[in-house]
Amino acid sequence: MLRLETIICTFSVLSVAARADFKARNCSEVREACQERGFAFAHVPHQEIPGEDLRVCTYEHTCCTQEMEDRFGQQSKLDFENLLDETSHTLRSTFVSRHKRFDEFFLELLENTERSLNEMFVRTYGKPYMQNAEVFENLFAELKRYYTGGNVNLEEMLNDFWSRLLERMFTLLNSQYVITEDYLECISKYTDELKPFGDVPRKLKAQVTRAFIAARTFVQGLSVGREVAQRVSKVNSTPACIRGLTKMLFCPFCRGMPGVKPCKNYCLNVMKGCLANQADLDPEWNQYIDAMLLVAQRLEGPFNIQSVMDPIDVKISEAIMNMQDNSAQVSFRVFQGCGQPKLAEISRSARDTSDVFSARFRPYNPEEPPTTAAGTSLDKLVVDIKEKLKLSKKFWSSLPEAMCVEDRVTAGNVSDEDCWNGHTKGRYFPEVQKDGLTNQMNNPEVGVDITRPDTFIRQQIMALRVMTNKLRNAYNGNDIYFQDTSDEGSGSGSGSGCTEGCTTDMYSAATEAPVVRADRSGPMEDSAPHHAPSIALPTVLALLALTLHRQWR
């Protein structure tokens, strides 16, 4: 009996001590911390209350009401989104600013080159040039349309330019004859054979196509990187993520210790769970960055668009001089193939004093180096972009580390025993999870369904994959939408992957068919050689259709 009384007495003393300890713990610090954070709660307990109504911060005694816990959940989501926005701000602003700078540089380079050529040719060639200036205006208009996403086949467009220039020059140099549209059509058939402009068209075509493909693909790559960064930085937090964030950021309030910040490893597990899908973007993002750096190397070297565009007026002038020097031979060969055109009904004296004399082009001797866009060097611009691109590698997998910054989110330079571990102040024991969705199966802080990848993130991964493929092709001088089939083994192609009206902000991967210039129709004067269309392709298709039809039967 005495032993029983002793036990009862001991239990009573412990109960009184526990009640005394419970009464001693108040929530004054929590009230002050809530006021500092701007929370306007209807009621904050003065002392701890039973916590059976709470769903996240589930403790026997708490300084939180259900209203407070709900509000903490909303604030956790907002704080997380703001922190992600701040952490990714440098990346996003880098792509926005570098895309803008490169785009402005390129368009200004085109504008300055066209103006320089026009001024030089007016001064050098005078009236013949001014009467035919639209040929050159169309050249630059098409180059700009290609760069800004237009549906242009570069090689075909350049071939068309030289054909038009040949027609205009032949007419000027043979102004004593009547040169009809049909006759010009016949002349164009001899362009490759005659090579009236020497080797300039072939060399210039190779240089322009490679440089423009690289420049356009590079600026599109910057645009895609900008869009992906902006879109992925806007996340839709899952309920499990919000729960984990609330427990990490605000459950210390409910435990009466609002000044205690999360342990570093605890924060990492929460962030890795919340950003599991973003981390899966990293492998494709890194490959995209590597492909951008490869094209940047080309822009610094053999595909340097500035080194191609600055002297383009000199190169075209050289081609014109080749045509003039060989005008007699060219005219003779054309007359052989297309026949002798009729003489114009105009007196010889009228021709001698004006058109014929003016048509004798004078060679161009550059007096000063060509202008550059805004005094900016492409090399310097590309070097700057390369440095920024290198810094952005592994960005998405490093986000948790970047967001769990000391003092801002985590406890900082304190001992492992003085941080919030999700339950109380003390050491955090669970192991930090690896990056990516599949590695979150056993995340102790955030429940992640690894069988349901985020479809939005997967769309961004696909966009990066498509862009990476385009960049790798551009590195080799190819545009994946316009492969050159006329000269197998040349390793070059040109054109666009976008419909009319697109800009350099190209983000979609829509495939377009190349534009084919319609030839002028009409009978040839005299007996120009005619080539029947090839029947090989229709024959093959017909045989294939017949074979399939028999198999289906």
Tokens 């340097």 label which residue? 304
Structure tokens at 54: 């709470």
Please, which residues have CB within 8 angstroms of residue 467's CB and are 6 or more apart in sequence? 220, 221, 224, 288, 291, 509
Angle at 368 between CA 364 and CA 371, to 5 degrees: 105
186 within 8 A of 524, measured Cβ to Cβ: yes
Phi-psi region of 64 (alpha: psi -120 to 50; beta: other; left: phi over 0): beta
Neighbours of 33 (CB within 10 A): 19
* pLDDT attached to residue 60: 87
Backbone angles phi, psi at 531, to 5 degrees: -115, 125
Q: What is the mean pLDDT, run by run of 10 residues, along the chain of 553 residues?
A: 45 42 70 91 90 90 93 95 95 97 95 94 91 96 95 94 92 91 88 89 94 96 97 91 96 93 95 96 97 96 92 93 90 90 67 40 46 66 96 96 86 78 94 95 95 94 97 92 40 36 42 32 37 38 40 40
Give pTM, 2 decimals.
0.78
41 within 8 A of 67, measured Cβ to Cβ: yes
Q: How many CA atoms lie within 13 A of 541 on its CB side?
A: 5
* pLDDT attached to residue 189: 82
